[in-house]
């Protein structure tokens, strides 16, 4: 789903950039875009590392271990999933604009915009990777029993 969202946003953004540039001046890619995306990736990664340590301490029954409330873990997963969806959309948007800007690399201002768009795509991929890691950390352990619809072991 994220790849499809990225592709659709990229194609629409590329087409929109071509149309907008033919009519007037194309809006600039903000310098803050890759910075904000990188900060979101850092927050997601820090949350995942913190939750992983707390869950490990809780699982090993360490004395004084601070547990993780299920609702907190669920909120973290929702935050990660929402961030991944938005990052896929933003990556596609800046990716499409960046591909359009590749035609104008000889113009210094457009070259800078292409760099900003490329860095935004990379930072967005970092957000998606951190969101996947957070989701993996918060995943419930699988049961070892086959009572709930699993195949019976062969004798």
pLDDT at 87 over 70: yes
| Spatial distance between the Cα atoms of 9 and 143, rounded to a whole number of angstroms | 39
Q: 18 is written with which tokens?
A: 């071509």
pLDDT at 107 over 90: no
Residue in 102, 88, 114 with CA at minimum distance from that of residue 7: 88
Q: What is the pLDDT of residue 144?
A: 52
Q: What is the pLDDT of residue 152?
A: 47
| Spatial distance between the Cα atoms of 75 and 79, rounded to a whole number of angstroms | 6
Give the pLDDT mean for 69-83. 90
What residue segments make up the domains of the chain, in order of their start? 1-18+72-141
Q: 37 is written with which tokens?
A: 């995306």
| Spatial distance between the Cα atoms of 98 and 57, rounded to a whole number of angstroms | 45
Q: What is the pLDDT of residue 37?
A: 95
Q: What is the pLDDT of residue 143?
A: 54
pLDDT at 145 over 50: no
Largest CA-CA distance found in the chain, in angstroms, rounded: 74
pLDDT at 67 over 80: no
């Amino acid at each position: 789903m994220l790849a499809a969202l990225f592709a659709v946003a990229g194609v629409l953004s590329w087409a929109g950039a071509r149309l907008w540039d033919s009519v007037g001046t194309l809006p600039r890619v903000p310098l803050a875009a890759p910075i904000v995306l990188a900060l979101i990736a850092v927050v997601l990664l820090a949350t995942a590392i913190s939750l992983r340590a707390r869950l490990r301490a809780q699982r090993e029954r360490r004395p004084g271990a601070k547990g993780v409330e299920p609702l907190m873990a669920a909120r973290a997963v929702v935050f990660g999933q929402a961030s991944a969806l938005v990052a896929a959309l933003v990556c596609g948007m800046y990716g499409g604009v960046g591909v359009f800007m590749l035609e104008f690399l000889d113009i210094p201002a457009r070259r800078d915009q292409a760099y900003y768009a490329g860095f935004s795509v990379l930072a967005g991929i970092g957000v998606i990777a951190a969101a996947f890691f957070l989701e993996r950390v918060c995943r419930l352990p699988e049961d070892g029993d086959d009572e709930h619809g699993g195949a019976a072991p062969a004798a």
